[in-house]
Amino acid sequence: MIILHTSDWHIGHTLYGRQRHEEYEALLRWLLQVLQEEQVDLLLIAGDIFDSPLPGTRALSYYYRLLAASVRYCRHVVVIGGNHDSPALLDGPAALLQELRVHVIGGKRADVADEVLLLRRPDGTPELLLAAVPFLRERDLRTPSPGESAEEKEQQLLQGLQNHYQAVVAQAKQIREQWQQPLPLLVTGHLFISGCPVSGDEGMRDLYVGNLGQIPVALLPEEIDYLALGHLHRAQKVQGSERIRYSGSPLPLGFADGKHPKSMTLLSLEPTACNCRLLPVPCWQTLQTIRGSWSEIESRLQQLRLAGSSAWLEIIHEGKEILGNLRERIEAITASSTLQVLRIKEQRLIEQALHQQYDEDDGYDLDPLQVFQHCLQQHGIETEQQILLQQAFAEILHSLDLPADEES
């Protein structure tokens, strides 16, 4: 059985205010070509379909076009919910989509048997057992109690997750025994396996709190023939295993993430063999970080401008001097080019702000709105956006019964 493992599409994602519709449309065209050329039997999306639990109408339309187009080229499509997804939104049309051979498990099921799928060939004979385990939220794994310690919470989370995976694998083994066939077992997960590297700004939210969401791979059942993971945006094998993989996001979701090549995992799965190869995903929009002194930044900008580059840029000035007109200098070089500067950071000014010491006797008051405005300026937020964000921040302060002019 030929399976295409992908995850973390984050449909509707924007990068510092820039829409990415053209990239997603190109990704869909590329995917459909792959499904056809590689004769894929199963398309598996391992969570974080959307970038937000409340996606816009354009993101929803894209999602349904993706599903409708995919079933024209492969027998099965399986989608699980991730930590960015709304289980209710994904599960709402699940019964209808199942008639189209699209299986959606948006959230944990009350009966673990409902997370185990028996996929069949066109002649009706079984070909794959698939335990479609979605992202397991804290409420799915444990019941909080007053006065519990962080260690107790962590242990309960790990035990709850281990129990769930053991239960779905046991259910799958029962089905395998009923058919008396050595059916391969594929299991999904949207979680953070401890020890795996992540990208610096990939937009990944913590699963629970701090490091509590990190799962030792030893907790998962050994009977799994292939563990298809989502959540981390860098494609990677877990502890060097061919059978435990993150497919990674098909598009870079931040500038640090843009340094790593993007791919999807194509695998041929049998009970005794798992053969994988990576399918590189084309790059339709280049993301580049330029950092250094002003002379280094200026030189690199001129090179990109003369080359006719259309890259999206993050610029980090690390020179000793603080340039009050950094943005103006950059705009003067890029104004007549196809380059787009999405983010500007004056590293020296940020470091000064972070390390500056205030004497309690000097009467210096920290106004929350002033601190917030300073942060917006240092992150290169446009003036119009600053005004809107400051208004929203003031509303938050008001909702917390903290007057905007009260010291923090």
Q: How confident is residue 349, by pLDDT bands cut at 50, 70 and 90?
A: low
Residues 319, 272: one domain?
Answer: no
* Other C-beta atoms lying within 10 Å of the C-beta of residue 129: 24
Domain CATH for 299: 3.30.160.720
Q: Of 180-184, 201-205, 318-322, which gets the smallest average pLDDT?
A: 201-205
Residue with tokens 């409902």: 114
CATH number of 275's domain? 3.60.21.10
Q: Is a pLDDT exceeding 60 seen at residue 407?
A: no
Give yes or no: residues 28 and 122 share one domain. Answer: yes
- Residues 306, 235 share a domain: no
Q: Which domain holds residue 350?
A: 287-399
| Statement to judge: residues 275 and 317 lie in one domain | no
270 and 323 in a single domain? The answer is: no
Alpha carbon distance 34, 70 (integer Å):
10
Q: Residues, the chain, total?
A: 408
Same domain, 252 and 389: no
Give the 3-state secondary structure of residue 87. helix
Categorize the per-residue pLDDT at 350 as very low, low, confident or very high, splitting at 50, 70 and 90: low
| Same structural domain, 163 and 212 | yes
Cα gap 387→75, rounded to integer Å = 51
Report CA dihedral (155, 158, 161, 166) to the nearest 10 degrees.
Answer: -100
pLDDT of residue 271: 76
Same domain? For 310 and 180 the reply is no
The reported pLDDT for the residue numbered 272 is 78
For 113-164, what is each residue's pLDDT tens digit? 999 999 999 999 999 999 999 999 988 998 888 888 888 888 899 999 999 9
Tell me: pLDDT of 19 over 90. yes
User: Please, which pLDDT band fits residue 207 given cuts at 50, 70 and 90?
Assistant: very low
pLDDT at 359: 43
Token duo for residue 28: 């869909």
Say yes or no to pLDDT of 213 above 70.
no
For residues 269 and 278, is the Cβ–Cβ distance under 8 A? no
Residue 210, pLDDT > 60, answer no
Could you give the angle at the alpha carbon of 303 between the alpha carbons of 298 and 305, nearest 5°?
Answer: 90
Are 226 and 333 contained in the same domain?
A: no
307 lies in the same domain as 360 = yes
Assess if residue 406 is contained within a domain: no
Q: For the chain, what is the domain count?
A: 2
Check residue 322 and give its pLDDT: 74
Could you tell me the pTM of the whole model?
Answer: 0.82
Tell me 50's DSSP state: B
The pLDDT assigned to 200 comes to 56
Instruction: With CA atoms as reference, report the closest residue to 168 among 186, 190, 194, 156.
Output: 186
pLDDT (tens digit per residue) in 366-384 = 567 778 877 877 666 766 6
End-of-domain residue from the set 241, 258, 280:
280
Indicate the range of 49-63, 174-188, 197-211, 334-348 predicted with least confidence: 197-211
Q: By percentage, how much of the chain surpasses pLDDT 70?
A: 87
Average pLDDT, the chain: 87
Least confident of 44-53, 112-121, 319-328, 355-364: 355-364
User: 146 and 217: one domain?
Assistant: yes
CA dist list (Å): 206 to 82, 253, 394: 12, 16, 26
Backbone angles phi, psi at 39, to 5 degrees: 55, 55
pLDDT of 58 higher than 90: yes
Angle between helices 368-378 and 383-399 (to 10 degrees): 150
Confidence at residue 390, expressed as pLDDT on a 0 to 100 scale: 77
